[in-house]
Amino acid sequence: MSEALPKNNIFKVIGASSLGTLIEWYDFYIFGSLAVIIGSKLFPEDAGASALINTLAIFAAGFIVRPFGALVFGRLGDLIGRKYTFLLTLVLMGGSTFLIGLIPSYKTIGYAAPILVLILRLVQGLALGGEYGGAATYVAEHAPENRRGFFTSWIQTTATLGLFLSLGVIVITKNVLGADTFADWGWRIPFLLSILLVVVSIYIRMKMHESPMFSKLKSEGKISKNPLKESFNNKANFKMVLLALFGATMGQGVIWYTGQFYAQSFLENTCKLDFNDSRYILLWGIAFATPFFVIFGAWSDRVGRKWIMLAGMLLGIVFYRPIYQTFLDDTDFSSVSQSEIVSSTPSIHTVLLDQSQDSLRTTATKIVLKDGASFVKLQHDTLSVAKGIVPAKELIKDKVLSKPVFWKFIGLIFFQILLVTMVYGPIAAFLVELFPTKIRYTSMSLPYHIGNGVFGGLVPFIATLIASFAGSTPLSGLWYPIGIAALSLIIGTIYLSNKRDEHVND
């Protein structure tokens, strides 16, 4: 039997663990949310799109090294204990985030800037790889066995709340400083702010005690001598690692990142929604859906973890394409009739092109519709001395939705995050129960970070890549998360057990 703590003590354990984990997620996500600005600071001014691509590659590097962090820190956690290991990951994460905020730009130190940021980003990824498994294990090993799903689900809220916090801090900083100051130096504030949050969290975590189960193993001299070998060289355990990856975490990862990351990218880049509108939609969706992590976590204590997670995957497979088709249809302003237009305000800007008599005329027309929606129609025409006006293709951007459509989109994002809560709420308890105490930190961290960090973290990148193939449509990218979730659903349905292991102290 696990030695359950009194209720107020377990909430102290949860609070201390969750705060640090939340801060680590915050640190990890601000980089992605600021990729465009960071790209412009780290690379030459004329690098254009390749600056963003390289910045996104640096962002992706953080996801890719997460499984390695799981191995390094998981091993440490099983050797020296949970408390000191995830204290170390917190220091590494907070320190590297703070330093990213201090890195001079390309103008000052040249290519040393992106190289230093890449190194710090790798440290961030390694730290996160070690953090989550430690926090989930630590809470689960304190929780009463019949409420493990409920108590670990608080840890599960932290990833989404970290994203929420990062979006909120960025939006507030930008609104307070103004767009120009934010682009100049204000983008550093969310990074620098991290150090305050980390100091508070370290102070709280220092006061925590080691997990009772690990302490017991240690006092009995039963801790693992070589957790990596015992986790992956032992067939009985390794087959469970593979089952956890292919039957659960792989599908969970793509559902998580489609609902919260790809959705935002799709609204902003494919639907051309206004910067603030797309972020507010996500913020509201997260705010409404977050309590369901705890609801599904608690429910999994009664009905088992398996079917709740697999139902989340199934709903994603069925509903993703209709949801994203609705996003496209409701933001299509290409056939707006004159009777729907309330006002149309053009602003014209003309510049002379280099070494010729030709000039480029940019006409940005802000169009407001009767239902409150608006958008900007952008037209670039070349005024050629020889050929007259050479028009270019019209672009529509900065779309602001009418109130009913805005709330409809919040509902659709809410639904996607609800699916996230179904697959993610119970998964910490599920993973903890799969592995023995002495190698739990190592064994559960690897499938989690391959599933979540690699399969999930690459959703925006791979989906965008698929959508760029010849003959593809804007919805083609969804085949990646749908395919992976379907594979995981089949494997999970057939091979996973719904039985809850009550004895995690073995």
Partner 1 sequence: MNTLKKFLGLVWMVLGPLAMTFLVIQAIDKVGLTHTAIERTNTILQWGIILFIFFPISLGLMIFGFYAWKGEYERLPASSEEL
Residues in contact with partner 1 by CB under 8 A are 50, 53-54, 57, 60, 64, 234-237, 239-240, 242-243, 245-246, 435-437, 450, 454, 458, 461-462, 465, 469, 490-491, 494-495, 497, 499, 501, 503-504, 506
Q: Which CB atom, from 212 or from 436, has the smaller least distance to partner 1? A: 436
Name the residue with tokens 């004329």. 46
**DSSP symbol at 273:** B
Say if residue 271 is exposed, middle or buried (CB neighbours under 10 Å; 0-12, 13-18, 19+): buried
Could you tell me the smallest distance in angstroms from the CB atom of residue 462 to partner 1? Answer: 7
Q: Compare residues 201 and 265 and give the one whose CB is closer to partner 1.
A: 265
Distance CA 86, CA 155 (A): 14
**Residue 159 neighbours by CB under 8 Å, 6+ apart:** 21, 25, 256, 424
The amino acid at residue 183 is A
If the CB atoms of residues 172 and 242 are measured against partner 1, the closer one turns out to be: 242
Cα→Cα distances 271→22, 353, 375, Å = 30, 31, 11
Q: How far is the CB of 366 from partner 1 (least distance, A)?
A: 34
* Identity of the residue, 51 or 76, whose beta carbon is nearer to partner 1 in the bound complex: 51
> Which is closer to partner 1, CB of 53 or CB of 405?
53
**Shortest distance in whole angstroms from residue 136 CB to partner 1:** 17
**The pair of three-digit structure tokens given for residue 343, joined into one six-digit string:** 């006002």
* Nearest-approach distance from CB 239 to partner 1, in angstroms: 5
Nearer to partner 1, 165 or 484 (CB): 484
- Of the pair 237, 384, the CB lying nearest partner 1 is at 237
Q: How far is the CB of 483 from partner 1 (least distance, A)?
A: 10
Q: Rounded to the nearest whole angstrom, what is the least distance from the CB of residue 234 to partner 1 in the complex?
A: 7
- Give the span between the Cα atoms of 366 and 344, in whole angstroms: 6
Nearest approach in angstroms of CB 407 to partner 1 is 37
DSSP-assigned states of every residue in 297-335: HHHHHHH-SHHHHHHHHHHHHHHHHHHHHHHHHHT--TT
Assess contact for 55 and 39: CB atoms under 8 A.
yes
